[in-house]
Amino acid sequence: MDVHVEAQEVGPAANELRERIQELEREKERLLKSVEEAKSAAMSKAGEIAIVRSKHDKVTKEYERRISVMQQAHADVVAKQKAELEKTKKDREVIETNNLFLEHDLARDAAKAKQTKKNLKDGAAVKAKAGPVSQAVTPKRHNKVLPFRDGFDDDDIVLVSPSKARDRPKAATPKQGGKRKRPVMDQSPIKPLQLSEPREKAKPPVVHESLNQQLHLALLAKLEKDEHRFEFMRRLLNHRPRTGHERTFESLTQYAFPSNPSKMLSSLVYDDLATCTPESHVEDFAQKFCYIFFDLWEQCLKETFYTPLYLLVDTIRFILATEKMGTAIAITEKALPLILASVDLVAIPIARASTNPAFISDRDAPPQGNLRSKINVLDCLSLLHTIATSCVTSSEAISKFWQCVPNDFVLLMLMKAQPLDQIMLMLRILSTSALPGTVGAIVPVDSGPDQQIKRETDTIDRLTILLFETPEPLQESTKSSAYDPPSICELRIQVLRVLGGLCVHQYGGRVLAKHRHCIGRLVRFMHDQIDALYNYRTLTHSAIVDSINISMRILYHLATSFPDEVDMRARLSVIQGGIHKHLVALTRLAFSDAIVLEAGIEDEVVDAAHQLLEEYLSPEEGEALLQVFSSGRSVG
């Protein structure tokens, strides 16, 4: 009975203690959670403070650097202006001194001229007053003034003894009347001749100096034109397509069109050349030659007579290489249709066979192989590249060039089925298409407002796919069955250079930023190249490092210059594992030491990766990465 009562009394107390213990445990958990939250908040604040401090230090250093650069530039400008001012002062002093000398000389010459004029006037007046002189009177002899002023003439002094000199009477000064006169009989019976006044000398014809100068310049211009024309003809007549080959004009004597077999191609050239006038300028002369060869080229395409095409293409390339760029610009509209038509004859069957196996037999057929041997696509593209680089000097000319190039041709020549050297040359040609308002080929205005954007999207899509595709040579090629890794690396670097060139203008960068796959493919390519960096290969290591640097610069430019167009997570989601590859690639670059296998990675690239990571990650994620990765750049 008592035990039961005691148990009843202990039961409520135990329950109360149990509830108290549970309450204390909950309080403990709450306190521990508060502590964890406080620690997390403190860590977050510390991370934010560290990020802010690093940004502040970076901004401070950049500000100090800019200030020092501006101060140095200001000091250089001030020093340069002082030097120019001193030089101007010295020049002015020299000019003033020269002016004083000139004024003095002018005054002296004027005084001399005035005195001479006065003397001439006085002499004329004296002669007029004197009248004619008598022939019977000897002219008066002026006495000389001796130094001793003794009144004697030197001729009258006779060396005699002193005594005789005293006894001799002094000779008187002769008078005019007492002078000896010529007897009248001694005078000539002929009257003196009447001399006429001297004739005035004929003045030379006055020729204006400006007229002489104009005639001189015109003569020089004509001689220079003739010399250039002669030199052009000399070079052209001596030209050979290659060493050991006959001269071009000698080779043209061996070919004739099937429609006119009796007339050789050289005769057609001479007939057209006979229409040139001597007054044509040397550039017009070279342009005339190009048009002559274009006419032959066009006729070859019409008659499917491709054997002499290599001579025509080589001669036109030679003319453009030795003449001014204006010649290449002037022939653009005539040359491009012929070049594109010739390249299409070879490139289209290759591309068709790569996309449809049913056309492989057509590609490998003997007629097509014979066509590839007669039409040198690389020479045609080289001619196209020469014209494109010449047109770059004028915005109007380069716009007209890309209006003549269809976008399908660009996509055709960038297919992996084409030979590698042709793809590389087409990439160089495409690099000239970065204009302020367009990228790549320019479609006609009447094609619709969206056609230009669609064509630009197709071009960028083709370029970014080339970062992963590997071209394969044709089976008939005498080279190895596959291109070597350095050549493939060079191809991908060239693709990156083209993409970087498109970013020069705001329009091109915005087109890349808007492209659905461009940024994702850049990240994937950069991730793959960083993986390849640690698989050291002597021949390709430096090329891989260059590709990483270029791709990181392009990615940073697009992400920072067009933040309103780039949603990084959306761009990465279209690539399989894109977010993971983006994070790994940026982290590896941000914490790179640039030594051993990572040697060659630029400091600017590392800083760009740091900045993109800071914008992409939260402070907690950044601190976690900092604890996992450490490098000489990140410590301290």
> What digits encode the pLDDT tens for the residues 473-497?
886 645 457 889 999 999 999 999 9
Is residue 452 a contact partner of residue 438, using CB atoms and an 8 Å limit?
A: yes
Domain presence at residue 277: yes
pLDDT tens per residue, range 493-535: 999 999 999 999 999 999 999 999 999 999 999 999 998 888 8
Average pLDDT over all residues of the chain? 80
More confident: 618 or 225 = 618
Range list of H helices, 392-540: 395-404, 407-413, 420-430, 451-465, 485-502, 506-514, 518-533
Give residue 635's pLDDT.
40
Spatial CA neighbour of 624 closest among 585, 583, 593: 583
Q: List the domain range (segments joined by +) for residue 284.
A: 212-404
Q: Which of 16-30, 307-321, 442-456 has the highest mean pLDDT?
A: 307-321
Residue 264's DSSP bridge partners are 256
CA 332, 334, 339, 344 torsion-angle sign: positive
Question: In a 3-state reduction of DSSP, which class is residue 50?
Answer: helix
Domain presence at residue 146: no
Threshold 0.95, pTM exceeds: no
Domain presence at residue 553: no
345 contacts: CB under 8 Å, gap ≥ 6: 371, 375
For residue 250, report the phi and psi dihedrals to the nearest 5 degrees.
Answer: -70, -35
Task: Write out the two tokens for 498.
Answer: 């083209």
Give residue 338's pLDDT.
96
Domain presence at residue 607: no
Please give the single-letter amino acid code of residue 450: D
Distance CA 290, CA 339 (A): 13
Domain presence at residue 224: yes
Distance CA 434, CA 399 (A): 10
DSSP 280-343: S-HHHHHHHHHHHHHHHHHHHHHTT--TTHHHHHHHHHHHHHHS-HHHHHHTHHHHHHHHHHHH
Give the alpha-carbon dihedral of 504, 510, 515, 520, to 10 degrees.
70
Total domains in the fold of the chain: 1
Q: Three-state SS across 120-166? A: HHHHHHHHHHHCCCCCCCCCCCCCCCCCCCCCCCHHHCCCCCHHHHH
Domain presence at residue 328: yes
Task: Write out the two tokens for 296.
Answer: 């032959």
Number of H helices, E strands in the chain: 24, 0
For residue 410, report the phi and psi dihedrals to the nearest 5 degrees.
Answer: -60, -45
Question: In a 3-state reduction of DSSP, which class is residue 276?
Answer: coil
Is residue 424 a contact partner of residue 494, using CB atoms and an 8 Å limit?
A: yes
pLDDT, average across residues 387-415 = 94
Q: Tell me whether residue 40 is exposed, middle or buried, using C-beta atoms within 10 angstroms of its C-beta: 0 to 12, 13 to 18, 19 or more.
A: exposed
Domain presence at residue 219: yes
Spatial CA neighbour of 298 closest among 269, 333, 339: 339
Domain presence at residue 37: no
Question: In degrees, to the nearest 5, what angle opens at C-alpha 472 toward C-alphas 467 and 474?
Answer: 150
Give residue 207's pLDDT.
46
Is residue 553 a contact partner of residue 608, using CB atoms and an 8 Å limit?
A: yes
Least confident range of 88-102, 188-202, 271-285, 381-395: 188-202
Is residue 342 a contact partner of residue 301, using CB atoms and an 8 Å limit?
A: yes
Spatial CA neighbour of 429 closest among 473, 392, 469, 465: 392
Question: In a 3-state reduction of DSSP, which class is residue 467?
Answer: coil
247: Cα separation from own chain's centroid: 34
Give residue 172's pLDDT.
52
Distance CA 382, CA 64 (A): 49
More confident: 223 or 577 = 577
For residue 264, report the phi and psi dihedrals to the nearest 5 degrees.
Answer: -75, 160
Least confident range of 33-47, 181-195, 295-309: 181-195
Q: How confident is residue 152, by pLDDT bands cut at 50, 70 and 90?
A: low
